[in-house]
């Protein structure tokens, strides 16, 4: 569970008497789960690498794939193979899409949820900080 998901759960407890705030938090949590879901899909090779299997990749899978590709390419004594170049191109495209979706989540979904929370005197959700920090 991500730090932001923990904050959402804590805020839901604080908002237990406010059904509108609970609804906003549930919707935000669903969108967040789609971004950070754990993907159990298998890969191939020693590092379990594969090409992006769907249009939108979750952040953990993206980080794992890019790290694995870097490890494979950097550990080789020769230029990257055609397969490694293709995988890199596909994962770069997937990374751009995933980061755009994360940015949209922060600028739109999280900002809107925080505005709703502040209307009912609840603390805003913060990215990169623990719930105790706010």
Alpha helices in 76-124 (DSSP H): 82-104, 111-119
Q: What is the pLDDT of residue 41?
A: 53
The per-residue pLDDT for range 8-40, each reduced to its tens digit, is 999 999 888 889 999 999 999 999 988 887 655
Count structural domains, the chain: 1
Can you read off the two tokens belonging to residue 128? 């990169």
Q: What is the pLDDT of residue 131?
A: 44
Distance CA 64, CA 20 (A): 37
Residue 44, strand partner residues = 49
Domain that holds residue 26: 3-133
Q: What is the pLDDT of residue 134?
A: 41
Please tell me what DSSP assigns to residue 133. Answer: G
Q: What is the pLDDT of residue 23?
A: 93
Positions of the chain with pLDDT lower than 70, given as ranges: 1, 38-49, 129-134
């Amino acid at each position: 569970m991500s730090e932001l998901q923990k904050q959402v759960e804590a805020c839901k407890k604080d908002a237990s008497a406010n059904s509108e705030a609970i609804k906003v938090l549930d919707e935000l949590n669903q969108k967040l789960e789609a971004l950070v879901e754990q993907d159990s899909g298998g890969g191939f090779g020693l590092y379990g690498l594969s090409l992006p299997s769907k249009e939108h990749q979750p952040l953990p899978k993206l980080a794992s794939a890019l790290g694995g590709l870097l490890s494979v390419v950097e550990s080789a004594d020769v230029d990257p193979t055609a397969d490694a170049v293709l995988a890199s191109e596909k994962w770069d495209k997937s990374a751009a899409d995933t980061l755009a979706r994360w940015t949209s989540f922060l600028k739109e979904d999280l900002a809107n949820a925080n505005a709703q929370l502040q209307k009912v005197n609840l603390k805003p959700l913060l990215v990169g900080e623990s719930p105790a920090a706010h």
